[in-house]
Structure 1
Amino acid sequence: MSDLTIFPADLAAMSVSQLAQLPPAQKAEISRNLDEALAWLKQTRAKFDAALEAAYGEQARAARLEAGKDFGVVHLNDGPLRVTVDLPKRVSWDQAQLAAIAARIAASGERIEDYMDVEFSVSESRFNNWPAALRSQFEAARTVKPGKPSFRLAFNSED
């Protein structure tokens, strides 16, 4: 990070209005320093998480095996430190196979919704490339909301 002219504690104490009124150079500095700090934190968190895995991973696997579970929370002790290790379950489904199963359920006269969560969506690029007649049939089902804005600050090059 570069030399700071506004320190993190000062930033935290400033209101949104005060931050908005800062000169462009300070806004650019703050944005750059925050980006660098976030990158450092992310990299350092990943390194520390790898260290925790190296220190406690085998113990956690053994504790899960002893408890008869493949996933979930186990608690370990390292002297006075209580270490909680959570290994979440991440399930994914083969979409082609689910579609075939859904077709069989529908063909048997059952309601698919009684067995599966069904969500329909249309990619925005497809929607935009459809003929107007087709788009008009879908427009009543389409809601457009703004996402979160993002900002990038850079000085104009002086030629």
Structure 2
Amino acid sequence: MLSIAVLTDHIRDLDVAAVAALTTPELACIADDLAEQKASLGLIEDKLRAALDQKYGARAAQRRAEEAKDTGTVRFDDNGFVVVAELPKRVKWDQAKLRHAAEIIRASWGDDPAEYIKTRLEVSEAAYANWPKPLRDLFLPARTVETGKPSYRIETAGEAARSVSLGREAA
């Protein structure tokens, strides 16, 4: 079997047309190399993040306590460098309780809940596909279908056969 070793470094300075002109085995090799590099960088990033948290987490928590805040950004010096420690706020709202609060605002206070609560209406695509035609037609003017970036994966014939047999064939 032919062994092809084309790595991402080989295509760094090529234009898109030159890359597209590569053979399928060369493109597969590059895709494999890129996947390995991404996985490796992900592991390194996770380790670095954990190490920074181990090294600076307590100081950042102490600084936040001094500034009377639970989340957000704090800064402190370390050996001639400024460490910027961010702890993002992730707020989640219980949808059922928000609906209840909106009803109280509307019914008991006589106010418009839209003054306080943002509402986003969504339709499940799977449900839409199963609706009767008159209902789909009613919603059709509100529906826009957009596409994302295309992606491609190159598999050996054996991998493709296994994917199909395992039910992973793309629709």
TM-score, structure 2 as length reference: 0.84
Give the residue type in structure 2 aligned to 1:21: A
Give the residue type in structure 2 aligned to 1:49: R
Distance of 2:148 and 2:119 partners within structure 1: 24
Alpha-carbon deviation of 1:5? 3.4
C-alpha offsets along residues 25-64 of structure 1, whole Å, 9 cap, x if unaligned? 1100000111111111111101110011100000100011
SS at structure 2 position matched to 1:146: coil
TM-score, structure 1 as length reference: 0.89
Deviation >4 Å, runs of 4+: none
Distance of 2:124 and 2:76 partners within structure 1: 46
Alpha-carbon deviation of 1:7? 4.3
Superposition map of 1:25-64 within 5 A: 25-64=25-64
In the other structure, the counterpart of 2:22 is 22
SS at structure 1 position matched to 2:82: strand
- Contact in 1 for aligned 2:128/2:136 (Cα 8 Å): yes
Larger displacement relative to structure 2 (117-126 or 146-155): 146-155
Unaligned runs of 5+ in 1: none
Larger displacement relative to structure 2 (109-118 or 41-50): 109-118
- Distance verdict in 2 for CA 1:59–1:134, change over 3 Å: same
* Aligned-residue identity in percent: 37
Alpha-carbon deviation of 1:134? 1.3
Larger displacement relative to structure 2 (91-100 or 78-87): 78-87
- Distance verdict in 2 for CA 1:99–1:149, change over 3 Å: same
Superposition map of 1:1-159 within 5 A: 5-107=5-107, 108-157=109-158
Alpha-carbon deviation of 1:109? 4.0
Distance of 1:117 and 1:11 partners within structure 2: 47
Distance of 1:120 and 1:85 partners within structure 2: 36
Provide the aligned C-alpha RMSD in A.
1.9
Give the residue type in structure 2 aligned to 1:118: T
C-alpha offsets along residues 53-112 of structure 1, whole Å, 9 cap, x if unaligned? 100000100011011111111112221222110111110100000111122233354322
- Contact in 1 for aligned 2:4/2:25 (Cα 8 Å): no
Distance of 2:124 and 2:104 partners within structure 1: 26
Larger displacement relative to structure 2 (109-118 or 25-34): 109-118
Give the residue type in structure 2 aligned to 1:104: I
